[in-house]
A = this chain, B = another copy of it.
Amino acid sequence: MTITRADDRVMDLGKLFPADRFVCDAASRSAFESDGLAAFRAKPLAVVIPETADEIVAAVRWCFENDVPFVARGSGTSLSGGSLPVADGIVIALNRMNRILDLNPDARTAVVEPGVINLKVSQAADPYGLYFAPDPSSQTVCTIGGNVAFNAGGAHCLKYGMTSNHVLGMKVVTAAGEVVTMGGASTESIGPDYTGLFCGSEGLFGIALEITLRLLPKPEMFHTVLIGYDSLRAAGDAVSAVIESGLLPGAIEIMDAVSIEAAEAAVKCNYPTGAAAVLIVELEGPKERIAFERELLQRVITATSPVVQMIAKDHEQRMGIWKGRKSVFSAVGRLSPDFLVQDGVVPRNRLGEALVAIEKLSVDSGIRIANVFHAGDGNLHPLIMFDGNIDGMLHRAEAVAADLSQLCISMGGSITGEHGVGMEKRDFLAKMYDANTVEMFDRLRRAFDPKLISNPGKMFPGPEAPSLGMAGLHPLEKAGVIQRE
C-alpha cells in the first residue's frame, strides 16, 4: 500500500478509534466502494465505524480541521450514487449507530440513531399498535439516516407523504463540526422548516445524530385490489377516476406488461393473465370506514372497464399482490443483464401523455423500458434495460435516461421523486433551476459546510460549471477517482 500524505493524515484519525473500527486495508475498503448505483466506484482512504454520537462528531471535526472530505453511509442502498465514497476522503459508516433511544407510545414518537433500519422502527412500535409510515422498497435494509438524507418515499407516500413529513426534529452535526438542533417533538414548529431543509440534503449539510420520528396508528384493516386493463393508458385514466372520487387510498401503483412479465417470472405472483397493465389500489383505515370505501371504490373501478380484477381475501393474498410489485426492480434483472432505474415525476394529470412519450422514446432508441410507478404521485420508475457487455450500450441507455429526465422537466415535473440527485442527476440540477437559484442553493449549503467536505461531488453540477462558485469543490473528477465499470 502506497503511503501518500493524505494517508498519513488519515492514520492520525485512526488514533481516535479502536483498531477494529478503523478500516484502512485495501481489501476491507473495497466493500465500501460502491452503492445501489453500481456504475460508479471509488475507494475511500479509510472507513471509521463510530458507536456513539460523540465519535461521529469527533470524526467530522477531525475532517473539518484536516480538510479531508467524508461521506456518511448507512446501508449503501442509494440508487442515485448518493453514498458513493470519494477517493481521497473517508467513509463514516453508521451501521452501529442503530439504537432506538426512545419510543413514546403516548406522544407517538420514536427517537432513533441514524443507522437504525427503517423496518426496525415499525417492528419496535408494533406492540403499541403504531408504525413508521415511509416504506421505500428497500425498507428491510435501508437506514433512517439515509431515508432522511434522500427524503425517501415509498408506495404509501401518496397518502402519508415523504420522510420529511414524518421527521419532527433532529440533532445534527454540521460539516463544520457544530452540533445543532432542528424542530422538536411536535408537528408544529417555529420559523422556517429547518428539518425539511435537512431532509433531502443528500449528506451535503452534515450527519443526523438523533432523529425524532412521528409514528402513526396501524391501520385496522387493508383492502387491496389488483385491476387489469387492456392498455397502460386505461390504467392511467383509472388513477384519475379514483382520485376524483374523493378516495385517498394508501397506495396507487401501476405496472406495465414488461414489469408484470418480469415479476411473474421471478416470484410467481399469480397476477391475472391477459392484462397490458395492472393497477394496485390499497385502502387502509378503520374497519367501518373501509367497509364504506370499498363499495365506493368498486363502483369507480367498474366504470373504468377493467379486463380483470382480483381482491385480496386475506393477509396472504395481500402480501402476494405486494410481492409482485416490490419484486420488479430485481425481477427485471432476470430479463436484462443490466438496467438503469429512473425516478422522474410528472404532474399527475399529464401521466397518460408521459407514458405515450416514454413508449416513443423506447421505440425510437430500440431500448426496452419497463414501467412501474407510484401513479398517485405521478412518480415514474422506468427501468431502462440494456446489456452492458455490448460496447456502447451503457452510453445509449444513459442517453435514454437523460431524455427521460428532460421529458419530466419539460412537462413541469422533476428529475427525481424519491431517489435523489446524487451522482446520477447532478448535471440536470442546472437544467431545472437557473444559475441564480443554483448559486443560492450553494450558499445555503456553505452555511452548513464552508469547506465543502461533506459528501462532495453529489447533487451539484461539477467543475464544468465554474460560474456556480464551485471552485472550492473537492476535485472528484479532476483527480480521475471515478472509474466506470
Contacts and interface: CB of A to CB of B under 8 A. Distances in A.
Interface in A261-298: 285-286, 288-289, 292-293, 296
Residue among A193, A202, A439 facing the most chain B CB atoms (10 A cut-off): A193
Contacts of A434: 180-181
Contacts of A446: 447
Given A181-B433, A185-B412, A446-B447, A191 B440 contact: no
Given A179-B436, A288-B296, A414 B246 contact: no
Given A246-B217, A349-B107, A414-B190, A437 B185 contact: no
B217 A193 contact: no
B443 A447 contact: yes
B197 A440 contact: no
Contact of A436 (B180, B187, B188): B180
Contacts of A288: 292, 296
A379 B189 CA distance: 11
A286 B412 CA distance: 30
Contact of A417 (B182, B188, B245): B188
A107 to B, nearest CB: 6
A242 interface: no
B292 A414 contact: no
A372 interface: no
B193 A193 contact: yes
As for how many copies of this chain the complex holds, the number is 2
A191 B204 CA distance: 10
Nearest to A243: B217
B188 A196 contact: no
A433 B180 CA distance: 8
A459 B191 contact: yes
Interface string A149-188: 0010100000000101000000000100011111011111
A373 to B, nearest CB: 12
A425 B201 CA distance: 29
B377 A188 contact: yes
Contact of A345 (B188, B191, B244): B188
Given A184-B412, A186-B413, A412-B184, A191 B447 contact: no
A199 B193 contact: yes
Interface in A285-317: 285-286, 288-289, 292-293, 296
Given A197-B197, A447-B440, A246 B188 contact: no
A473 interface: no
Interface string A418-459: 101100010001001110110111011011100000000001
Contact of A440 (B414, B441, B448): B448
Contacts of A447: 440, 443-444, 446-447
Contacts of A194: 197, 440-441, 444
A380 B418 CA distance: 35
A200 interface: yes
Contacts of A151: 193
B220 A178 contact: no
A188 B378 contact: yes
Contacts of A162: 188
A14 interface: no
Contacts of A244: 217
A347 interface: yes
A392 interface: no
Contacts of A186: 345-347, 378, 412-414
Interface string A341-356: 0000111010000000
A106 interface: yes
Given A180-B440, A288-B292, A440-B448, A190 B107 contact: no
26 contacts: A106-B349, A107-B347, A178-B439, A178-B440, A180-B437, A180-B440, A182-B437, A184-B414, A186-B346, A186-B413, A190-B429, A191-B441, A192-B197, A192-B441, A193-B199, A194-B197, A194-B441, A194-B444, A196-B197, A220-B246, A245-B286, A288-B296, A440-B447, A443-B447, A444-B444, A447-B447
The 8 closest A-B pairs by CB, nearest first: A193-B196, A196-B196, A246-B286, A443-B447, A180-B437, A292-B292, A188-B345, A188-B417
Given A188-B413, A246-B286, 20 more contacts: A178-B436, A178-B439, A178-B440, A180-B439, A184-B414, A184-B432, A185-B347, A186-B378, A188-B379, A189-B414, A190-B420, A190-B421, A190-B432, A191-B421, A192-B198, A196-B197, A220-B246, A246-B285, A246-B289, A443-B447
